[in-house]
Structure 1
Amino acid sequence: MRILFTFIGGSGHFRPLIPVARAAQAAGHTVAVAGSGGRTAEITAAGFTAFATSEPRARTADTASSAGVAATPVDVPDPAADLRELAEGFARRGGRRQAAAVLDIARDWKPDVLVRDEVDFGSAIAAEVLGIPCATVIVLAAGGFLRKEVIAEPLHELRSEYGLPADPGLAMLDRDVVLSPSPPAFRDPRFPLPAHTFAFRPGPAVPAAPERETPTVYFTLGTVYTSTELFTRVLAGLQGLTANVVATVGSQVDPAVFGPMPPNVRVERFVPQDQLLPRCSLVVSHGGSGSLLGTLAHGLPSVLLPLGADQPYNARRCVELGAARVLDPVTVTPDEVRATVSAVLADEGYRHAAERLQRETNALPGPERTVPLLEALR
């Protein structure tokens, strides 16, 4: 069987597809991945045939210099603007671009099944035009950010452009198999997934982490965030902890702009999360779905600084489940960071809540169990 995996956006939309794609490869199926032109090297490095659905954007130089640490303040989160970008950027402009590109790729490559990330709306339309099944992989863990009423208008317009029949309930988005790489308990019950959703564990089961005499705190704001001002404030707070600290600031920020660090603090552009989390006691992050699910898979509590998109929804769910505390990224001070991280480390309730989600994750079937569901779609 030939399976075309598709995504729109960055690494956070590609990485949830990888375990399923690798499982399909291991089962003997022919796999390719279609994503933006700027991601083809990442797709190839992961071991897949890559198709570009757009031209790569020109790379920029480092955005932070030694003179610019305070020049990129954190933007005030704007939930309404994030929803407009979902509707206009992902559904209207991105959906139109992706539908055309995936149709061209699929007509030449001839997949039997498409598997898309959940905000790749154009690929769902392309699959319907071609008359082939389209499975969906959830990339927004807690739910709430992607709501059908937000994206209905641009998707109805796009369906009309392709001569597809009316779909008032947008059944196209979850008509076929839905795959969720997260523990069901993490999903906000106010935004349930379809009943036919299959939850799976994206990686190997992770044993409970031993308690350590000196904790290690991991700090990340994801792979694309570049507010050096927020990094500076958080790092200043973490420096005062009796803990080892590892911070990753992304490819566009030079760690040198933050100046000399004490021996217990290490600042890097990037370190693979899977290398760090087994040694950690707590994670400070933006609450992106990928970072957060990795954190919970290792049974670790969080201190969260949600910046936009799905992050506030994930943060709220973590608080409801007792696995995190949340700080305001706009107003947070170093003292608040230090006090909050210290409090979460000292209160075993946060770790126990995270470990409950870890146990649920470990009990899920592995990604190899998704393959028969895809095979049944053919």
Structure 2
Amino acid sequence: MRILFTTLLGSGHFHPLVPVARALQQAGHEVALATSEQLRKQVESQGFRFFRAGGERPQLPQGAMAQVMENMMRMSHETRREHMANMFAGHFARKMVSDVMALASDWRPDLLVRDSMELGGAIAAERLGIPHASVQVGAMLPQDYSFPLMVERLDEVRATVGLPPEPQPHSLYHYLHLSFVPPHYLGGSMPPTAHYFQPAIFDQSGDEHLPEWASRLGQNGRPVVYVTLGTVFNKVVAVLRTLVEGVREEPVDVVVTVGRDVDPAELGPQPAHVHVERYIPQSLLFPQVDLAILHGGYNSTTAALEYGLPLVLVPIAADQPMNAARCEELGMARVVEPLSMTPESVREAVRDVLKTPSYRENARRFQREARTLPGLPRAVELLEKLAREKAPQFRT
């Protein structure tokens, strides 16, 4: 069976697909990924066939990218939704539909699997007459794609391949949706085709490993605090600098990752107990961590929770405010707003989370519930069944 994965540019979109794609490949299926040229090396390094699709993001200088992200922090809710509709549906989905239709004329997939924020793959699959599935990669729920401008933009894309408009974008979840978190985590209403699985973490898309100094973390009973803004929003170095200033005077060991494309020297000189690196696979680091300070990205947040770690979250943009609000609601995190954040407010939040047992207890509840869910073999079974039956796979 041939299975085509479609994903937007970015580790946060690509990484969640890798365990599923790898499991299908190991089950004997032919797997390819269609995505940005900028991900070609990562895709091919994992042993998958690569197709260029979905368009490219402009390569901006770091300073310009940081300014874009700082502007995003100040967007109103309505402006964010307008941006999302124009970008994810109006731009990326339109390009992905065109590219998938073209590549499918030669490489004919039997099934399409997309990251849940990549919307064009579902429209292309519908036009091609093949079933499609999605993998949850952010906090966005079905209702979050139902506001008028989003529906309008999706209908415009549908029209480019001769599909009629939809009153609501139900077809995005028509066949099967895979979510690698416990059912209660996302909140809201999920479609009847949503199925839940144990977290399947992939974050080693390069050759990085644990540094030598990692073996000495936490000596003398010092808590270990991990600080990162991920691999996209790491450009907002001013936020990262404030986080480090807030935590480095505490009696803790600090690990900071700034991303592959940011120079650690931008944070300036640090005391010996503060370790600054470009990138460390979190799956290697988290077993030694006591508290994670994150931007609220879906993948890093759920990965930390899978290790039972309490959180301090600083949501910048995209779905991060939604993730942060949900974690705070479930008692697993303190949220610090980036626009009003000071080193003192960061320090107070860190002290609170470290000394209050309920944050860790609630994070470990997430961990326990996640580990009772089915694993990847069940996801493969459902995808194979979907390809055979070409019918919705409803949750029982």
Residue in 1 that maps onto 2:122: 124
Matches within 5 A, 1:77-116: 77-78=74-75, 79-116=77-114
Report the alpha carbon displacement of residue 187 of structure 1 after superposing the two structures with TM.
Answer: 1.2
Distance 2:173 2:119 in 1: 11
- Range 25-34 or range 166-175, more displaced: 166-175
Residue of 320, 332, 338 corresponding to 1:323: 332
Structure with a larger share of its residues in helix: 2
> 1:93 Cα shift?
1.3
Where 1:232 maps in the other structure, the secondary structure is: helix
- 1:166 CA displacement: 3.3
Q: Compute the displacement of 1:63 (Å).
A: 4.6
Could you list the runs of 5+ residues in structure 1 that have no partner in the other structure? 205-210
Partner of 1:287: 296
Aligned to 1:248: 257
The one-letter amino acid paired with 1:195 is P
CA deviation after TM superposition for structure 1 residue 143, in Å: 3.7
- Give the whole-Å Cα distance in 2 for the aligned partners of 1:109 and 1:276: 39
- Kindly state the Cα deviation for residue 56 of structure 1 after the two structures are TM-superposed: 5.2
Q: How many Å separate the matches in 1 of 2:336 and 2:143?
A: 20
Task: Show the counterpart of 1:305.
Answer: 314
1:200 maps to a residue whose letter is F
* TM-score, normalisation: structure 1: 0.91
User: What secondary structure sits across from 2:16 in the alignment?
Assistant: helix
Q: Give the Cα–Cα distance (whole angstroms) in 2 for the partners of residues 114 and 321 of structure 1.
A: 34
Aligned to 1:154: 153
Between the aligned residues of both structures, percent identity stands at 42
- 1:361-376 maps to which residues of 2 (within 5 A)? 361-376=370-385
Q: 4+ residue stretches of structure 1 with deviation over 2 A? A: 54-64, 71-77, 79-82, 141-147
Equivalent in the alignment of 1:347: 356
SS of equivalent residue, structure 2 residue 144: coil
1:351-376 deviation digits (Å, cap 9, x = unpaired):
00000000011111111211111111
Report the RMSD for the aligned CA atoms in angstroms. Answer: 2.2
Q: Deviations over 1:333-353 (max 9, x none)?
A: 111111210110011100000
Contact kept in structure 1, 2:145 and 2:169, CA below 8 Å: no
Distance apart, 1:77 and its partner CA: 3.4
Once residues 36 and 278 of structure 1 are traced to their aligned partners in structure 2, the CA distance between those partners, rounded to angstroms, is: 33
Structure 1 segment 221-300 matched on structure 2, within 5 A: 221-225=229-233, 226-300=235-309
**Corresponding residue for residue 203 of structure 1:** 200
SS of the aligned residue for 2:28 comes to coil
Q: Does 1:179 align with 2:178?
A: yes
The letter of the residue matching 1:218 is: Y
Give the aligned length.
365
User: Is the 2:258–2:277 Cα contact (8 Å) retained in structure 1?
Assistant: yes
* Post-superposition offset of 1:61: 6.1
Residues 37-87 of structure 1 show CA distances to partners (whole Å, capped at 9, x for unaligned) of 1111111122211111156567566659xxxx9x99944332333211210
1:194-253 deviations in whole A, cap 9, x for unaligned?
Answer: 12211111338xxxxxx9822111111110121221111111111111111111112332
What CA distance in whole angstroms lies between the structure 1 residues aligned with 2:171 and 2:308?
A: 35
In structure 2, the gaps of 5 or more residues are 202-217, 388-396
| Greater RCO structure (CA 8 Å; 6+ sep) | 1
Q: Is the 8 A contact 1:230 1:329 kept in 2?
A: yes
| 1:208 counterpart residue number | none
CA distance in 2 between counterparts of 1:148 and 1:138 reads: 17
State the Cα deviation string for residues 116-155 of structure 1 (Å, max 9, x = none): 1112111111101110001111112364883322510011
Distance 1:60 1:314 in 2: 27
State the Cα distance separating 1:331 from its structure 2 match.
1.6
State the one-letter code of the partner of 2:162: G
Q: Tell me the SS of whatever aligns to 2:104.
A: helix
Is the 1:63–1:252 contact (alpha carbons within 8 Å) kept by the matching residues of 2? no
Contact kept in structure 2, 1:202 and 1:367, CA below 8 Å = no
Query: How many angstroms apart in 2 are the aligned matches of 1:144 and 1:310?
Result: 13
The separation in 1 between residues aligned to 2:285 and 2:373, in whole angstroms, is 23
Distance 1:72 1:114 in 2: 33
Tell me the residue number matched to 1:220. Answer: 228
* 8 Å contact from structure 2 (residues 53, 96) kept in 1: yes
Give the counterpart letter for 2:10 in structure 1.
G
Mean Cα deviation higher: 311-320 or 143-152: 143-152
**1:27–1:73 CA distance, 2 compared to 1 (3 A):** closer
CA distance in 2, matches of 1:43, 1:14: 9
Cα–Cα, structure 1 residues 314 and 229, in superposed 2: closer, same or farther, change >3 Å? same
Distance 1:317 1:326, change over 3 A: same
Deviation of 1:328 after TM superposition, in Å, equals 1.1
Secondary structure in 2 aligned to 1:201? Answer: coil
Distance, in Å, in 2 between the alignment partners of 1:62 and 1:145 is: 34
